[in-house]
Amino acid sequence: MGRYDRSIKIAFDKTSGEILDADEVFDITKDAFQIRKKYHEKNLLLSCCECEQDLMVSGSKYDRLHFKHKPGHGYCILADGKLTPQEHERFTEILKSKESDRHKELKNKIGELLKNVPDVDVDTISIDSTFIIKEDGKRKPDVYCKFQGKELVFEIQLSDLPLSYILSRYEFYKRHGMHLIWILDNFDIHNQGTLERDIKYLTEYENFFKLDEKSNTLRLECEYKFPFLTDDNRILTKWLKKSVSLSELKFDNEVFQAFFYDFGDNKAKAEVLQKQKAEEIKESERKRLEQKKLERAERKANDLVAKIADFRKRKMLIFNAISSEVSEMNNLEIETLNKVLSFKGKITAGKPPLIKWIDEAQQNDVAFLEFILKTKEIELDINTVDDTGKTPLQAIFQNENIHKTLPILSLLQAGYELTENDNLTLSELLGRQEISVTDFHIFKICNNLTDRNLVPNAYHFSKLLFIIESARQNELIAFNFTGNKWISFANNAIQHYSEYWEYIELAFKRFGLWDRLIQLDTKATFQKKVEQFYSNIPKQEYDFDEVFNDLYPELEYTL
């Protein structure tokens, strides 16, 4: 047997109180002879430094001496055959260290100080003197006591421990409901060795303990990992140190570990705060960007308002550049523009802005009025009267300095609804011949449009609309035919509006005029024109479709 094959490297000599090193005493012939002689003379009482069971001196077939547990011995980690040669070496060093002066000093200090700790059962304190014997083995902790009804064991370590040793101690005490506290004497938290790393990751708490020898009472110096959030919302950790009493420790009854600071729990809380802060940062960034957009929109709105004022001051006849700029604005910019303009709800000297502009307008101001009315993005009180009850339409007719038709069409296109007073005014103006018959009727027709964007189209098709309205109202609208006026009217329609005859014929038939025309057509002039039309049908146009369907949904014409 080679020297590195011995499983039990050391033995305790109960007679002398010394520790015998097998690799030293058995490899020196003279010492080996003396040891063997004393053992056989029963003058040498040997025990295992780990389990304290009796050992014997045994030889191999090569006459190599070694220490060995006696037959029928109980469990001992040194005898179970599971340790590697390297682990045997380290385990032996641990056992030797347990007999060092420093090890004895620390365990005695802890044991003595425990006697004065409140809630410690003094009668239970054991300083390296009592085995904890269970069915699955036995362990002799450096210090044992009961504190607040809990069983505590203190294990003092001065050097690296094999992971198997750590786990065997930890699992044994855990199985039997005992809280294990490792007391590490010499370690560098910032340059951790195997021992520190193994103990640290055994639980989630990552607390290191050593005896606080500056205190006259039992206090442990705890170094623990502390998670924190940086200004840029990153989670970092740093090691903090605090001297704590036993009463300041918490005890985990699932993993049976004592701890002062719960790293895992506080890290989880830090992660929650990190998410909250991330949302706050996100929201703050969103608000910052919104504020930036708002400021940009305000600058754009102020620039545009200044440009509108400049165009108006210079009596510009074309506002297309500004209209185009407004049409390209986004919702925020449009909203901001209207806040800057503040036309809606505004009253100056008893007049809303629109009536004030109309009252003060000259002909070269009409372009501005049309721009304001046709720019649908600009919010304006179209239907508001002034404090005398005057409507915008009445204001237009009362202003002798401007032409009427285009401003009124623009007003209607903007969504203006004719009032009873407006209708009365139009009738009075028509009676005094201060308004043309065509304007009178087209204004009324445009007022009936659902989609006011179609006002220009309706004005363009005014003659065609007068034909259909004549059929609908059973009265000639804007036509002055005499004699057999309905036949003259119908002949005019089929002759001059043949490309839209499909719409006209549909209206004539649905409104009941067709049969009447046949009765009135005593000379068959109309019927001949119809026959001629169908013998050589001209190409039909359908650009009237939107206006027709909007005004006469009951006649809706589909292609």
pLDDT at 14 (0 to 100): 63
Confidence of residue 145 (pLDDT cuts 50, 70, 90): very high
**Amino acid symbol at 247:** S
From residue 53, how far is each of 6, 13, 525 by CA, in Å? 17, 12, 139
* Structure tokens belonging to residue 39: 């053992």
For the segment 49-93, what is each residue's pLDDT rounded down to a tens digit? Answer: 677 777 777 776 555 677 778 887 777 777 776 767 666 666 666
Mean of pLDDT over the chain: 89
Confidence of residue 414 (pLDDT cuts 50, 70, 90): very high
User: What whole-number distance in Å separates Cα of residue 472 and Cα of residue 506?
Assistant: 11
515 vs 202: which has the higher pLDDT: 515
Mode of pairing for the β-strands spanning 178-184 and 150-157? parallel
Spatial CA neighbour of 331 closest among 304, 297, 360, 299: 297
Angle between the N-to-C axes of helices 437-447 and 405-413, in degrees from 0 to 180, rounded to the nearest 10: 10
Name the one residue in this structure whose structure tokens are 């902790």: 141
pLDDT at 4 (0 to 100): 45
For the segment 280-333, what is each residue's pLDDT rounded down to a tens digit? Answer: 999 999 999 999 999 999 999 999 999 999 999 999 999 999 999 999 999 999
| Radius of gyration for the alpha carbons in the chain, expressed in angstroms and rounded | 54
pLDDT at 196 (0 to 100): 60
User: Percent of the chain scored above 70 by pLDDT?
Assistant: 86
pLDDT at 75 (0 to 100): 76
| Structure letter (DSSP) for residue 555 | G
Name the one residue in this structure whose structure tokens are 């506290």: 181
Confidence of residue 372 (pLDDT cuts 50, 70, 90): very high
| Contact yes or no for 425/404 (Cβ under 8 A) | no
| Contact yes or no for 540/501 (Cβ under 8 A) | yes
Order of strands, sheet of 143-147, starting from the edge strand that comes earlier in the sequence: 120-127, 143-147, 150-157, 178-184, 257-259, 250-252
State the greatest distance between any 2 C-alpha atoms of the chain, in Å, as a whole number.
161
For the segment 163-221, what is each residue's pLDDT rounded down to a tens digit? Answer: 677 778 888 999 999 999 999 887 777 666 665 666 665 667 889 899 999 999 999 99
Domains detected in the chain: 3-94 (no CATH), 100-261 (3.40.1350), 273-340 (no CATH)
DSSP string, 426-474: HHHHHHTTSS-HHHHHHHHHHHT-SSGGGHHHHHHTHHHHHHHHHHHHT
What 542-545 contacts at long range (C-beta under 8 Å, 24+ apart), as own/partner pairs, is 544/457, 544/461, 544/464, 544/500, 544/503
Spatial CA neighbour of 167 closest among 144, 142, 189, 198: 198
3 state SS of 200: helix
C-alpha angle 384/387/391, rounded to 5°? 40
User: What whole-number distance in Å separates Cα of residue 229 and Cα of residue 75?
Assistant: 50
From residue 86, how far is each of 7, 9, 43, 90, 91 by CA, in Å? 11, 12, 33, 6, 9
User: What whole-number distance in Å separates Cα of residue 320 and Cα of residue 328?
Assistant: 12
**Amino acid symbol at 152:** L
Confidence of residue 1 (pLDDT cuts 50, 70, 90): very low
For the segment 210-269, what is each residue's pLDDT rounded down to a tens digit? Answer: 999 999 999 999 999 999 999 999 999 999 999 999 999 999 999 999 999 999 999 999
CA–centroid distance for 355 within its chain: 50
pLDDT at 460 (0 to 100): 97
E-strand ranges in 245-313 read 250-252, 257-259
- How much is the average pLDDT of 25-54? 70
CA–centroid distance for 158 within its chain: 50
Confidence of residue 117 (pLDDT cuts 50, 70, 90): very high
Confidence of residue 461 (pLDDT cuts 50, 70, 90): very high
- How much is the average pLDDT of 497-522? 96
Dihedral sign for Cα 102, 108, 112, 113, please: positive
Give the DSSP H or E segment for 30: helix 29-40
pLDDT at 2 (0 to 100): 44
Residues with Cβ within 8 Å of 474's Cβ and at least 6 positions away in sequence, in order, are: 511, 512, 513
User: What whole-number distance in Å separates Cα of residue 187 and Cα of residue 234?
Assistant: 29
pLDDT at 50 (0 to 100): 73
- How much is the average pLDDT of 101-113? 94
Dihedral sign for Cα 410, 412, 414, 418, please: positive
Spatial CA neighbour of 151 closest among 163, 139, 160: 139
